[in-house]
Structure 1
């Protein structure tokens, strides 16, 4: 018979270094005041464009997140208050508005044998085309996180003692000058490759888009019920920077951009 040990006898051990950056990040975003919205997007035109690109002479395979990054980059360029970052608490808060739109995409990667979340920042999305965005994603996804220059900063952070790594991360994340290059001016995260319809995440930015799976659902078109490929798209926004009305505008405009591709 197997002996059952009391949980009081189980010794703890240090958290793996590969998870240090996640804990540092979770501590920093405690300053945020998140509010959650969501909508449904008819992805028919996106899927048609994706299929045509894959079957074309160059056989480009676009990720769904590439379309969201492309649409959101242009929408946020029209909403400077949403393309901003807040620093400080209630005593002396400061806000920075950025003349560029940088998007961070969360990636599920394996580093030193451990499954972790890593982020890549795509700069200048207000002017970037879909091919340029997809090329960036392909380059990052095909690289080895253990050697890629893209994740050099994360690896250096893991090599530092806990207190020093925490201090450096907090300094960079709370700097209004450094933050858009570390976390972007907005974020996109996706769990749509699995059976996840919708979810909300705080990406360390004023707006974070959550991408769910695409499922055939009944919709009404021209007064008639039909079936369409529908994706749930969520938006988490920092209430310190913008209010619900503008956040609703941003989410609606991204939805319209995807449906009107």
Structure 2
């Protein structure tokens, strides 16, 4: 049996450093289901936005009202917690860098006042951009080029600063695998609140005592128990759910022919989430 042992790839060093640092987190996981009917009507009427755009928009407005959750902690003999007025969303992408498939993240700042249109434009900018030349990923590329012992030190210096964290790590995180047949998953994104998104698919729901079929999103939330407690996290999750379910964009009920099926919506979710359709390994897909 042949075995090939090789050096850890430079292009994934940032992920390794992040996971080493994430060990300090004390994650607790919650989940719920979101009725996506209203948002699907928006899409059917021609005013659709991606799933992650809707979640970023709703979560930012909720966290603007929950500064306890829109915060970060610094450990030490005298732990400190920073509360942030700006709500900055960290969003992850599945990209190709130097021929290697990697996860890269970016921070979208000031989401508490950004419209759906503005958020969608930012998502598409990073979806379509080449990380090998985009200035937003210059620091990551520089990190990959540092000597092996210096790189993790540089990463910690940037990511641990409470004053710089909103710009480098965000104040909350969103990551999606909804372009694949994944119902839901939990992830720790390096922020006090991390939202994990699965696919939107038709499921049985009860309305007025009757069982109906409706598009449903599994929405998962991980929170750092060092910063907030379960009741606060549950409030955040519940309010995000309420905002998403109330978001029909004022669209009128479409005809049955106009409304996309669950299969059609799932097939297009890769594109809607700021990704490209499923293709062989090596293409750029949103994570």
Shared fold, TM over 0.5? yes
Deviation of the 1:181 alpha carbon? 0.7
Query: Aligned partners of 2:161, 2:25: CA distance in 1, in Å?
Result: 15
Partner of 2:163: 177
| Equivalent pair of 1:28/1:173 in contact (CA under 8 Å) | no
| Residue of structure 2 aligned with 1:31, choices 24, 45, 53 | 24
Secondary structure of 1:31's counterpart equals coil
> Can you give the 5+ residue segments of structure 1 that lack an aligned partner in the other structure?
55-60
Secondary structure of 2:112's counterpart equals coil
Any idea what the Cα deviations from partners look like across 1:110-155, whole Å, max 9, x if unmatched?
A: 1111111111111001101000000001111111110011211111
The reply to whether residue 199 of structure 1 matches residue 199 of structure 2 is no
Partner of 2:50: 63
Deviation of the 1:11 alpha carbon? 5.3
CA RMSD of aligned residues (A): 1.1
Partner of 2:95: 109
Query: Aligned partners of 1:128, 1:19: CA distance in 2, in Å?
Result: 31
The 5-angstrom pairing of residues 230-249 of structure 1 reads 230-249=216-235
Query: Aligned partners of 1:31, 1:104: CA distance in 2, in Å?
Result: 19
Deviation of the 1:183 alpha carbon? 1.3
TM-score by length of 1: 0.92
The 5-angstrom pairing of residues 134-213 of structure 1 reads 134-213=120-199
The 5-angstrom pairing of residues 117-136 of structure 1 reads 117-136=103-122
The reply to whether residue 252 of structure 1 matches residue 235 of structure 2 is no
Q: After the TM superposition, which segments of 4 or more aligned residues of structure 1 sit over 2 Å from their partners?
A: 50-54
Query: Aligned partners of 1:175, 1:52: CA distance in 2, in Å?
Result: 45
Partner of 1:12: 5
Partner of 2:41: 48
> Can you give the 5+ residue segments of structure 2 that lack an aligned partner in the other structure?
248-287
Partner of 1:73: 60
